[in-house]
Amino acid sequence: MGGFRLFATMRLTTLLPFLFSLLANGLAAPAAHAANPHKLWEIVSEQCVPNMQASGNPQPCAAVDLERGFVVLKDIVGPAQYLLMPTRRLPGIESRELLADDAPNYWDYAWQQRWRVGQALGRGLADRQLGLEVNSAAARSQLHLHIHIDCMRRDVAESLAAHRGDPLRRWMPWQFEGHRYWVMRLPGDALRSDDPFKLAAGRDAFAASAMAAQSLLLTGVSLDDGGTGLLLVNMPVNFDLQERGSAEVLMDHDCRW
């Protein structure tokens, strides 16, 4: 699959300038240059799922949920990073199937798996120390949807804490390290009904028509009343700032706190 096919679901009026900007700014998707951009899909479809079906053994994955349609795989980067991936073929955040009314909420499944990070580290972690993240099409190396599950950067969590009192389900600007993001505060149980992919698509007309240019991060936040909420961060591609849409920079794969 060529890098240009990543954007096949975008509207033509948005697709052309988006592609031209990618080329002009040197931000073409690294997937086009990866040694094997289908490696994750091959692991899911040729190893984890068949092994689970044949013997009940999810290896090399840590878990395979055939009923809900996802696997969990320990990433090779970091001591405690995991990836949650669908068992069906979905290239990435731009897959239109993710916005269907009956689409599985992979974010909910991934948030339920966050305990694995603390288990791998041998210590407990608060929800504000944990994050889920999906990169844009221009900032990923694999052509299969994968949600990163890992630690948050301490400075990011501290900065985001200022949004713990934001109005619920409303996008608000967040400035961090000279960059502009969008953040939405959600109730702690929001993933039972809210899908971050759909929330991002509802941010504005461009986001809805160019999901390939979006990057998302979800993390917990401690509230003033002692409870825990969620914060959803949207980092769109920004050609002027040479940003490929990788909210992964907000995570700490070394888990240093």
CA distance 126 to 223: 12
Interval 2-23: pLDDT, tens: 332 333 333 434 443 443 344 3
For tokens 């929330």, the residue is: 199
Query: Does the pLDDT at position 33 exceed 60?
Result: no
| 77 contact partners, CB below 8 Å, separation of at least 6 | 253
User: What mean pLDDT comes out for the span 206-218?
Assistant: 90
Residue 34 — very low, low, confident or very high, per pLDDT cuts 50/70/90? low
Query: Which two three-digit tokens encode residue 40?
Result: 């994750």
CA distance 79 to 21: 36
User: What mean pLDDT comes out for the span 193-222?
Assistant: 93
Query: Does the pLDDT at position 49 exceed 50?
Result: yes
The domain spans of the chain are 3-250
Whole-prediction pTM value?
0.86
Query: Which two three-digit tokens encode residue 3?
Result: 């890098």
Superfamily of domain 3-250, CATH level 4: HIT family -  CDH-like (3.30.428.30)
Burial 31-69 (b: 16+ CB within 10 A, else e): beeeeebbebbebbbebbbebbeeeeebeebbebeeeee
For tokens 């949650």, the residue is: 84
